[in-house]
């Protein structure tokens, strides 16, 4: 029996340029049937959200849900001590810790209006977490391997295959699909990058990789100099610089195509833009992470036309709040270019919805409120003092609202967050026991808190 539900609000934003006042979305099971002006249907058959904006579910194209438990654990140090700090603390976490951490992050996404993610996971736990909470998108299994003296390429790929089998089984029957993520040019060596590119083509898997994020990364690839190059030399790893930009190098390794998502692009150049356009690749723009870690401001004009917005992990930007990310993205572009016209509220709402869907190659399914699309949407209250008055929906969402104003999130027709359920934030996830997850998270937190710095670091 098909279940039909009507969701009503003062404003329905079907896409950034179309706001309907006093309108309704009709869903049937997991799909949007109709978006229409308010009807005479009574409240017994309608969920009326009142003074709120109903909009497409947000798409966070770059997260690491696994790392949510480390939010705030390593702060105010430069990029490489920061990454090392995370790696070292990761070693003390158990599989249950990782699951609690990832589930906490997935719940934060749902509470912030996010219905779709592109997540890079070293443990695979993010797949379980996203499926449990009800998110869609791509779960990229991460892999590392810079040291030729470590695992062979064959061993790395066999391990990757086993991990992908697990993720594939979890994703089956959900709006999630698996992908692969060789972490970065400085943590995966050339022959492994080439082998992963071939592997992804053979198995029709999307690829995600951090690229052109920091100056030391670009110095390494360009001429074998800088902080990362020195770190590799200290570890006696003989890494031959290809003398290229990162994007040229990844192209050379065969990694680039229309199923490839590159993350950051702060150091992207005009010559990289030609490769971006030719290959059809997409970029994840993570402005808060880039700023907080002192890496800079990505030149959006050099990243082509397929750009989605990402928060990166809760370790990089502390919250998975895509509203804050949208606001910051606009401010940073304007400040950097000293120009208002650089980017506006509609542009960034588009990037955080249909842009993200395009980046993850699921445009036909989500990103707009239209008949036939998956019922992925969220309702944002305009009742808080700081959200009134609200003359324009996009401006209010970007410049006044935050994730804390989200009232309701639906993913594939399933309510995954509902602020009306109760005053306790942990009870707002239908069917989930977030109190139990919180208790499990505390085990991870105490292990991270009690972690002691090793006398000599392997990563250095
Ligand atoms: Zn990342």
Vertex 182: Cα angle to 61 and 452 (nearest 5): 90
Quote the ligand 1 centre to 8 CA distance (angstroms). 37
Phi, psi (5° rounding) for residue 254? 80, 20
127 and 40 belong to one structural domain: no
Lowest mean pLDDT among 79-83, 349-353, 357-361: 79-83
195 and 222 belong to one structural domain: yes
Tell me: pLDDT of 456 over 60: no
226 and 97 belong to one structural domain: yes
- Mean pLDDT, the chain, whole residue set: 95
136 and 228 belong to one structural domain: yes
311 and 406 belong to one structural domain: no
Task: Please give the tally of structural domains in the chain.
Answer: 2
Quote the ligand 1 centre to 419 CA distance (angstroms). 29
118 and 255 belong to one structural domain: yes
Q: What is the domain range of residue 130? A: 58-359
27 and 104 belong to one structural domain: no
Tell me: pLDDT of 9 over 90: yes
Is the residue at 442 inside a domain?
no
Quote the ligand 1 centre to 263 CA distance (angstroms). 7
How far is 147 from 18, CA to CA, in rounded Å? 52
Average pLDDT value for residue range 431-460: 85
Nearest alpha carbon to residue 392 among 50, 48, 11, 37:
11
Q: What CA–CA distances, in Å, run from 325 to 328, 394, 408?
A: 5, 14, 19
252 and 353 belong to one structural domain: yes
Q: What is the pLDDT of residue 1?
A: 62
Quote the ligand 1 centre to 312 CA distance (angstroms). 5
Quote the ligand 1 centre to 385 CA distance (angstroms). 34
116 and 29 belong to one structural domain: no
Is the residue at 355 inside a domain?
yes
Average pLDDT value for residue range 285-314: 97
Quote the ligand 1 centre to 168 CA distance (angstroms). 22
Average pLDDT value for residue range 48-75: 97
66 and 51 belong to one structural domain: no
Quote the ligand 1 centre to 281 CA distance (angstroms). 17
Quote the ligand 1 centre to 264 CA distance (angstroms). 8
Is the residue at 452 inside a domain?
no
Tell me: pLDDT of 24 over 80: yes
How far is 349 from 134, CA to CA, in rounded Å? 22
Q: What is the pLDDT of residue 457?
A: 47
Chain segment 236-258, per-residue pLDDT in tens: 999 999 999 999 999 999 999 99
172 and 241 belong to one structural domain: yes
322 and 399 belong to one structural domain: no
């Amino acid at each position: 029996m098909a279940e039909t539900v009507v969701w009503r609000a003062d404003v329905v934003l079907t896409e950034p340029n179309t706001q309907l006042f006093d309108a309704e979305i009709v869903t049937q099971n997991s799909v949007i049937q109709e978006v229409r002006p308010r009807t005479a249907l009574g409240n017994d058959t309608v969920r009326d959200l009142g003074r709120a904006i109903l909009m497409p579910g947000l798409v966070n194209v770059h997260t690491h849900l696994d790392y949510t438990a480390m939010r705030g654990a390593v702060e105010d140090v430069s990029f490489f001590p920061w990454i090392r700090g995370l790696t070292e603390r990761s070693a003390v976490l158990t599989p249950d810790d990782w699951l609690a951490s990832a589930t906490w992050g997935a719940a934060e996404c749902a509470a912030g209006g996010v219905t779709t993610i592109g997540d890079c996971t070293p443990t695979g736990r993010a797949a379980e977490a996203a499926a449990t909470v009800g998110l869609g998108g791509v779960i990229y299994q991460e892999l590392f391997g810079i040291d030729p003296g470590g695992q062979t390429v064959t061993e790395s790929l066999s391990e990757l295959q086993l991990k992908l089998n697990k993720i594939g089984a979890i994703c089956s029957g959900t709006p999630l699909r698996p992908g692969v993520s060789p972490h970065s040019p400085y943590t995966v060596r050339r022959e492994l990058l080439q082998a992963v590119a071939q592997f992804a083509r053979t198995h029709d898997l999307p690829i995600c990789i951090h690229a052109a994020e920091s100056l030391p990364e670009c110095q390494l690839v360009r001429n074998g100099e800088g902080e990362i190059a020195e770190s590799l030399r200290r570890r006696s790893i003989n890494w031959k610089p290809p003398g290229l930009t990162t994007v040229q190098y990844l192209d050379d390794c065969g990694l680039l195509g229309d199923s490839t998502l590159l993350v950051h692009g702060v150091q992207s150049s005009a010559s990289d833009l030609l490769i971006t356009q030719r290959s059809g690749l997409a970029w994840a723009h993570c402005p808060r992470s880039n700023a907080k870690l002192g890496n800079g401001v990505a030149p959006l004009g050099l990243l082509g036309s397929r750009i989605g917005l990402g928060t990166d992990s809760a370790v990089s930007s502390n919250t998975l709040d895509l509203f804050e990310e949208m606001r910051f993205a606009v401010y940073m572009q304007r400040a950097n270019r000293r120009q208002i016209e650089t980017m506006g509220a509609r542009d960034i709402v588009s990037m955080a919805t249909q842009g993200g869907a395009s980046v993850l190659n699921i445009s036909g399914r989500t990103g707009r409120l239209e008949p036939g699309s998956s019922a992925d949407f969220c309702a944002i209250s305009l009742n808080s003092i700081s959200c009134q008055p609200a003359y324009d929906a996009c401006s209010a969402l970007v410049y006044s609202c935050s994730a804390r104003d989200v009232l309701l999130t639906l993913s594939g027709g399933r309510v995954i967050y509902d602020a009306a359920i109760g005053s306790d934030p942990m009870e707002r996830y239908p069917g989930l026991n977030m109190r139990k997850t919180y208790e499990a998270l505390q085990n991870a937190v105490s292990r991270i808190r009690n972690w002691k710095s090793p006398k000599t670091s392997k990563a250095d």
